[in-house]
Amino acid sequence: MEVVIVPDAAAGGELIAEAMTALLRRKPDALLGVATGSTPLPVYEALAAKVSAGAVDVSRARIAQLDEYVGLPAEHPESYRSVLRRQVLEPLGLAAGAFMGPDGAASDVQGACEAYDKALAEAGGVDLQLLGIGTDGHIGFNEPCSSLASRTRIKTLTEQTRVDNARFFDGDIKQVPHHVITQGIGTILQARHLVLLATGEGKADAVAATVEGPVAAVCPASALQLHPHATVVVDEAAASELKLADYFRHTYANKPDWQGI
């Protein structure tokens, strides 16, 4: 995998938005896999700025959701479908028809998971999947010890993740659902390009385990080591536990300009 160390979150957002822009110029109807949480926001802001400036046409772009709470109605303000409408679709000027995601309110949850995996395949697969990382190394909502071959399915959140996410529910952990639908690690690995963004010191241990540790289900993000095109973009704080930081800086600084990430 490639590791790019950037000065701060805004620079990470700009770098990834640039990669999305290059993809959309090559393939105007690209399927972008998007993530929720605080980390991806600089990416969405930088991409929306490029769209406003006329640097890229996103009118044919398609957006795919990574994970969703089970049991929240789609219109709930904290359903990830609602969050992504506010953070991605509306700023990019995309209609609801450009969006695909699992139905977190389905009575047949297993059926909804299988239907989503099938829909992703029928849509031609995800071209670029943006990922955050949990402090426990999760990607999507694949918590530690998730199967590295898993498909989209229901998962139970760890208490730590519910605590981390309570800030979106008035700080009240009781409102945070226990269950989620998440693309599996095997599903995520099918995207053509994986781009993981991590910022802040709180992610430093998880980043080190992802990049320099063994491939192990205990750190789900370490599965990125199995992907032929995975890019890990980290700010200085999130890179602070990387033993090979100088090597990563050197290789990125000497990369051919045309290559991009």
Choosing from 143, 164, 193, 235, the catalytic residue is: 143
What six digits make up the tokens of 89?
Answer: 């679709």
Q: How far is the CB of 133 from ligand PGA (least distance, A)?
A: 6
Nearer to ligand PGA, 22 or 41 (CB): 41
Taking CB positions, which residue lies at the least distance from ligand PGA?
Answer: 37
Nearer to ligand PGA, 37 or 184 (CB): 37
Q: How far is the CB of 141 from ligand PGA (least distance, A)?
A: 8
3-state secondary structure 144-205: CCCCCCCCCEEEECCHHHHHHHHHHCCCCHHHCCCEEEECCHHHHCCCCEEEEEECCHHHHH
User: How far apart are the two ends of the chain, measured CA to CA in Å?
Assistant: 11
Nearer to ligand PGA, 39 or 152 (CB): 39
The single-letter code of the amino acid at 60 is R
Q: How far is the CB of 122 from ligand PGA (least distance, A)?
A: 26
Q: Are 245 and 5 in contact (CB under 8 A)?
A: yes
Q: How far is the CB of 54 from ligand PGA (least distance, A)?
A: 29
Alpha-carbon gap, residue 25 to 148, rounded angstroms: 32
Interaction of residue 177 with ligand PGA, rule CB under 6 A: no
Choosing from 103, 117, 136, 164, the catalytic residue is: 136
Closest to 145 in 3D by CA, of 210, 215, 220: 220
Within 13 A of 255's CA, how many CA atoms are on the CB side? 14
Interaction of residue 132 with ligand PGA, rule CB under 6 A: yes
Active site residue 136: yes
Q: Are 137 and 208 in contact (CB under 8 A)?
A: no
Q: How does 98-131 read in b/e, with b if 16+ C-beta sit within 10 Å?
A: bbbbbbbbeeebeebbeebbeebeeeeebbbbbb
Q: How far is the CB of 38 from ligand PGA (least distance, A)?
A: 4
Contacting ligand PGA within 22-81 (CB under 6 A): 37-39
Active site residue 201: no
Q: Which of 42, 134, 177, 220 touches ligand PGA (CB under 6 A)?
A: 134
Interaction of residue 133 with ligand PGA, rule CB under 6 A: yes
Tell me the catalytic residues.
Answer: 67, 136, 138, 143
Residues that bind ligand PGA (CB under 6 A): 37-39, 132-134
